């Protein structure tokens, strides 16, 4: 397993256990085995889904963990396959089969990996304009999905409470509604103090989701020691 993915899993589940007061040790052991296994991607998906099926209390994190499984595949598993595997019909079939899986968090994780490779600090404007290319005509799907993020970039000059206020007022039709609060807070502060973390948690409408996702991003972003 990629070290950054491993840290993200650890941080995410640790926060879930803390916020939900629900033990995660057995679930963590099970998904760690999945991520470290030599099985093919779809078998890993099946095994991970089985772990979530047996832990309905953690259902909200299922698709986020699919994103982690996907990034781990891109970073780690693909090394064991043919060089052009991601251009193969087999991978096209997998993409088609999993088209409705995962969340937009995958794009954030891919961006953070690129930042690490290029030794630059994550920045919301850079993510939107240089990574997602939301201003380009051929990337209008991305512009639509991230519309609420684009419209609220000014929050990077605001505070956690204001981010929470905007997040709470997003319409249910917003495609980024669920991820808005943790992702915007990550771009606002990716190395929060204990006080900032406490303020983040106290302003969260869905702490059992928001806290694990925020912790996941912070951990994934940390440089390898």
pLDDT tens-digit profile of 119-162?
Answer: 999 999 999 999 999 888 777 788 899 999 999 999 999 999 99
Question: Residue 94's pLDDT is what?
Answer: 92
DSSP character at residue 155: G
User: Averaged over 212-218, what is the pLDDT?
Assistant: 98
pLDDT of residue 225: 61
Proportion of the chain in helix, strand, coil states, percent, rounded to 5: 75, 0, 25
Q: What percent of the chain has pLDDT over 70?
A: 99
Does the pLDDT at position 168 exceed 90?
A: yes
Q: Which domain holds residue 54?
A: 3-221
pTM of the model: 0.94
Cα 135–Cα 139–Cα 143 angle in degrees, nearest 5: 65
pLDDT digits (tens, 9 = 90+) for 59-97: 999 999 999 999 999 888 888 777 788 888 888 999 999
- pLDDT digits over 7-48, tens only? 999 999 999 999 999 999 999 999 999 999 999 999 999 999
CA-based torsion, 148, 154, 157, 162: positive or negative: negative
Count of C-beta atoms within a 10 Å radius of residue 177: 14
**Count of structural domains, the chain:** 1
Whole-number pLDDT of residue 145: 93
Q: How far apart are CA 118 and CA 120, in angstroms?
A: 6
Separation of CA 146 from chain center: 15
The pLDDT of residue 182 is above 80:
yes
- Asked whether residue 4 carries a pLDDT value surpassing 90, the answer given is yes
Position 197 scores a pLDDT of 96
**98-112, 137-151, 166-180: least confidently modelled range:** 137-151
Q: 224, 185, 220: which is closest to 203 by C-alpha?
A: 185
CA distances from 165 to 169, 174, 209 (A): 6, 15, 17
Those residues whose C-beta lies under 8 Å from the C-beta of residue 81, and which sit 6 or more positions away, are none
The torsion defined by the Cα of 108, 113, 119 and 123, in degrees rounded to 10, comes to 0
Crossing angle of helices 207-221 and 105-118, rounded to 10°: 20
C-alpha 23/C-alpha 205 separation (Å) is 22
What CA–CA distance (Å, rounded) separates 195 from 191?
A: 11
């Amino acid at each position: 397993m990629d070290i950054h993915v491993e840290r993200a899993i650890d941080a995410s589940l640790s926060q879930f256990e803390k916020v939900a007061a629900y033990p995660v040790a057995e679930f963590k052991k099970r998904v760690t085995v999945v991520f470290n296994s030599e099985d093919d991607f779809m078998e890993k998906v099946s095994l991970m889904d089985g772990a979530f099926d047996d832990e309905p209390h953690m259902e909200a994190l299922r698709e986020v963990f699919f994103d982690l499984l996907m990034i781990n595949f891109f970073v780690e598993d693909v090394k064991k396959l043919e060089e052009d595997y991601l251009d193969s019909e087999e991978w096209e079939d997998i993409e088609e089969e999993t088209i409705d899986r995962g969340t937009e968090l995958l794009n954030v994780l891919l961006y953070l990996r690129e930042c690490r490779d290029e030794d630059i600090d994550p920045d919301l404007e850079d993510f939107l304009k240089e990574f997602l290319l939301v201003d380009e005509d051929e990337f209008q799907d991305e512009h639509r999905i991230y519309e609420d993020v684009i419209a609220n970039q000014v929050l990077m000059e605001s505070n956690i409470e204001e981010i929470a206020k905007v997040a709470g007022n997003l319409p249910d039709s917003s495609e980024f509604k669920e991820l808005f609060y943790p992702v915007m807070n990550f771009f606002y502060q990716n190395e929060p103090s204990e006080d900032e973390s406490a303020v983040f948690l106290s302003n969260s409408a869905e702490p059992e989701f928001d806290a694990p996702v925020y912790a996941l991003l912070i951990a994934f972003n940390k440089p390898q020691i």
